Structure 1
Amino acid sequence: MTTTTRATRGVPVPHGVEYHRVLVGEKRRVGRGILAIALLLAGLFGSGAVLYEVGVWIDGLIRPDGDVGPGLTPVTQTLSLLSVALMIPWSMLIQRWLYGVRGASLHSVISSFRFDLFGRVLLILVPLFFIATAIHEYSRPFGTVHWSPTDVIGVLLASVLLVPLQATGEEYGFRGLVFRVAASWGRGRVTSLLLGIGVSTAVFSVIHFASDPWWNVFYVAVSTVTAYVTWRTGGIEIAAIIHSAINLSTFMFWIALNADLAERFDRSPGGVTPGLMIPVLVILLGVTVVVWFRTRRTGPVLTPSGPSATGSDGRTPVEVSGASAV
C-alpha cells in the first residue's frame, strides 16, 4: 500500500529548503543530472526540428510561390514558439521520471504558480522592458524588408499569444530543471547555488550559438539574474516575466518596423554594440537590487516546513512570504 501510494504521488518535496535544492539528496547523482540535461536539450531541438519541417510543409501547401515573406511565416512562427513552450511539460516529466519529484514543484516552493506575485510584477516590468527595447531600436536603425498584411497580422497574433509561453518554457527548462539538477551536485548551500547558477547559465548561453561576445554577455546577464530571482523568490514567476517581456517587446518592434529578420537573428561578431544593451542591463540590475532589498531580512523563500506550519488563513508562512517577496 505504501509503495503504491509513493509511486502514484511521487517523492515529496523536502521541507524548509530553497527552490534550487529540492533535488538534493544523499548522493550527487551527477550521471543522472547529465542525462536530465541531455534529455531536455534533445526534446528542445528535436521538437524544434520536427515542427519546423511541418511548418515548411504546410507553407508549401498554402504558399506555392515559395515566398516566405520576412524570413518566417505565421505558420513557422507558431510552430517554432510551440516547440519551445513544450519545455514546460517536458521539464516536469523529466524531473518526475528521473528524480520522482512531482513536476508541479517546478512552479515554486509551494508547487503552484503564484498568480498574485506574477500579476503585480507583470504590471511593473513589462512597460519598462518595452521602453528599453524602444531605446534600443531608436539608437541603431536596422534594415527592413517588405512584410505583407497577412504576415504582419499572422506573426503578430502568433507572437502575442505564444512568445510568453515560449519564454516561460525556457525558464522552466533552465531556471527550473537545469538549475535544480546542477544544484543537486553540491553539498553546501553556497556550492549548490553556484553550481546551479553556473551550469544553467552556461547551458542557456551555449544553446543560443552566438559568436558575438556582447550577445554572450547579454545571455549570461539574463540567465544569472533570472536564476538569482528564482532562488530568492522561491519560484519561476518573475523570471518568466523578465524573459517574456524581453522577447515579446523585441518581436513587437520587429513586426512594427518591418524588420529584416535575417539581420536581426545574426549573432556573429559585430552584430550588436554594448551601448545597445545598456537599457535592458540597467533594468536587470534594478530587478536584482529590488529583490535583494525585499528579501534581505527573510532570506530566500523556502518550501513549507510541514503541515503544522499552517496559519488561521489556511496559508503557510512560506506562501505569505512568497506572495510578498517583491
Structure 2
Amino acid sequence: MKVEAHHSRYEGKLMDAIESEKPQFFATHTTPVEYHRGLVSDKRRIGRGILAIGLLLGGMQVFIIGLTILAALIDAAIGTEARDGYTPLINAVGAFAVALLIPWSMLIQRWLYGVRGGALSSVLSHFRFDIFGRALVVLLPVTVALLVVYYWAPFPQTTWAWHDLLLLVATALVLTPFQAAGEEYGFRGLILRVVGSWTRNARLGLVLAITVSSVLFALVHFSTSGLLNVWYLVFAVGTAWITWRTGGLEIAIVLHAVFNATQFVIDAALQIDPTVATDRSAGAIDLSVLIPVPLIIGAVIVVALRTRRSGTVLTPSARMARG
C-alpha cells in the first residue's frame, strides 16, 4: 500500500510537471481545432479582433510610408534618378516594409490573445519546412511555365542602367519572398484567425474569415482595375482555403513568393519598365492579368485531392501533447 501511494504521488507530480511545460497553444484547446479557430475562446472578442486588424493594417502603412520617405531622402542625397517616384531603393524598402508584417503579426497575436507567434505558421505552432520544400519543388517550374505564356505579349521596356536592373533582381530574390510571406502572415494568418474566432460555428467562421481577409487583401493594393481586383480575390480566396485545409501558411507562402519573385526577375531580365509593370490603374490592365488564375485553381484542386482521405489538418489536442 505504501509503495502504491508513493507511486501515485510520484505520478501526480510528473503529470503536474508535464502540464506546466505544455506549450501555451496546447493549453488553449483540449480538443483538436482547425487553423482558423486557433484564437477561439469562451468570448467572441469582436472588438479585440477589430483592434488587431486595425493595428495590422495601420502598422503596414506606417512601415511603408516611413521607409519610403527614408529611401527618398537617401536617393536625393546620392543623386539617384527617380522615374515617377520609383527607384531600386524605394522598391527594396517597400518589400522590406511588408516583410515586417511577419514579426508584427506575431506580436499582435501575442499581445492581444496571449498566443505565441509560432502558432501563426501552422497548427503545430512552427513552420513546416518539409511541406514548404515539397511545394517549392512542384510550384517553381509550373509558375515559370505559366509566366512564359503571360509574357508572350511584349511589354514596354525601360532605359534604366544595368546596375539598377541588378538591384531589382537582388530585391526580387532576397526580399520579395519575405514580402510575400509577410502578406501571408498578416492576411491568411492573423486576419483569418481573428475573424474565424468570431462565430460559434466553425464553418460559418471559415466563410466569414476567408471573405473578410480576401476583401481586405484586395483593398490594400489600391487598384482601380476590376480585372486586377478579381485576380486579387481569386488569389486570396484560394490561398486562404489552402491554408485552412493544410493547417498552415507554407503552401500559400510558396505560391505567393514564387509568383512574385519570378515575375520581378523576368521583368528585370527583359528590361521591362517597372513603372509600367506596377501600374494598377484601370487603363493599364487587360485580360492577360487573369492568366495566372488557373495556377491558383490548380493548386486548390491538388490540395483537395491530396487531403481527401486525411481531411483538414488540425491542432494536436492537449492529450496528444502529453502523449
TM-score over 0.5 (shorter chain) = yes
How far off is 1:73 after superposition?
A: 2.9
- Asked if 1:304 corresponds to 2:320, the answer is no
How far off is 1:41 after superposition?
A: 0.6
Equivalent residue, structure 2, for 1:120: 134
Equivalent residue, structure 2, for 1:141: 154
User: Gaps spanning 5+ residues in structure 2: where?
Assistant: 1-15
Paired residue type of 2:38 = V
Measure the CA separation in 2 of the matches of 1:151 and 1:83.
Answer: 20
Measure the CA separation in 2 of the matches of 1:99 and 1:288.
Answer: 30
What whole-Å deviation, never above 9, does each CA across 1:55-113 have from its counterpart, x for those lacking one? 111111222xx512686333222211110000000000000111111111001000011
Paired residue type of 1:293 = L
Task: Spell out the pairing of 1:30-69 with structure 2 (5 A cutoff).
Answer: 30-63=46-79, 66-68=80-82
User: For the Cα contact (< 8 Å) 1:70–1:146, is it kept in 2?
Assistant: no
SS in 1 for 2:314: coil
SS in 2 for 1:68: coil
- CA spacing shift, 1:125–1:13, aligned 2, 3 Å: farther
SS in 2 for 1:56: helix
RMSD between superposed Cα atoms in Å: 2.1
User: For the Cα contact (< 8 Å) 2:227–2:289, is it kept in 1?
Assistant: no
Which has the higher mean CA deviation after the structures are superposed, 226-235 or 254-263? 254-263
- Asked if 1:108 corresponds to 2:122, the answer is yes
Measure the CA separation in 2 of the matches of 1:142 and 1:13.
Answer: 52
How far off is 1:13 after superposition?
A: 4.3
What whole-Å deviation, never above 9, does each CA across 1:247-272 have from its counterpart, x for those lacking one? 11211121112222222222222422
- CA spacing shift, 1:38–1:308, aligned 2, 3 Å: closer
Measure the CA separation in 1 of the matches of 2:262 and 2:255.
Answer: 11
Measure the CA separation in 2 of the matches of 1:214 and 1:264.
Answer: 15
TM-score, reference length from structure 2: 0.88
Equivalent residue, structure 1, for 2:177: 164
SS in 2 for 1:141: coil
Indicate which of 218, 231, 235 corresponds to 2:248.
235
- CA spacing shift, 1:203–1:225, aligned 2, 3 Å: same
Percent identity of equivalent pairs:
43
Paired residue type of 1:155 = L
Equivalent residue, structure 2, for 1:132: 146
Measure the CA separation in 1 of the matches of 2:84 and 2:134.
Answer: 36
Equivalent residue, structure 1, for 2:302: 290
Pick the structure with greater CA Rg. 2
User: For the Cα contact (< 8 Å) 1:126–1:245, is it kept in 2?
Assistant: yes
Measure the CA separation in 2 of the matches of 1:54 and 1:163.
Answer: 19
Measure the CA separation in 1 of the matches of 2:281 and 2:86.
Answer: 20
User: For the Cα contact (< 8 Å) 2:231–2:289, is it kept in 1?
Assistant: no
Q: How many residues align?
A: 303
User: For the Cα contact (< 8 Å) 1:69–1:151, is it kept in 2?
Assistant: no
User: For the Cα contact (< 8 Å) 2:86–2:275, is it kept in 1?
Assistant: no
User: For the Cα contact (< 8 Å) 1:70–1:260, is it kept in 2?
Assistant: no
- CA spacing shift, 1:260–1:81, aligned 2, 3 Å: same
Indicate which of 208, 233, 238 corresponds to 1:225.
238
Measure the CA separation in 2 of the matches of 1:47 and 1:105.
Answer: 24
User: For the Cα contact (< 8 Å) 1:70–1:259, is it kept in 2?
Assistant: no
How far off is 1:18 after superposition?
A: 0.4
- CA spacing shift, 1:232–1:289, aligned 2, 3 Å: same
Paired residue type of 1:36 = A
User: For the Cα contact (< 8 Å) 1:69–1:147, is it kept in 2?
Assistant: no
Measure the CA separation in 1 of the matches of 2:104 and 2:89.
Answer: 22
Measure the CA separation in 2 of the matches of 1:27 and 1:310.
Answer: 27
Indicate which of 54, 61, 74 corresponds to 2:88.
74
Paired residue type of 2:243 = T
What whole-Å deviation, never above 9, does each CA across 1:114-145 have from its counterpart, x for those lacking one? 1011101101101211221221111x322112
Measure the CA separation in 1 of the matches of 2:40 and 2:139.
Answer: 32
- Asked if 1:213 corresponds to 2:226, the answer is yes
- CA spacing shift, 1:158–1:34, aligned 2, 3 Å: same
How far off is 1:175 after superposition?
A: 0.1
SS in 1 for 2:183: helix
Paired residue type of 2:231 = F
Equivalent residue, structure 2, for 1:319: none
Paired residue type of 2:295 = I
SS in 1 for 2:305: helix
Measure the CA separation in 1 of the matches of 2:59 and 2:116.
Answer: 19
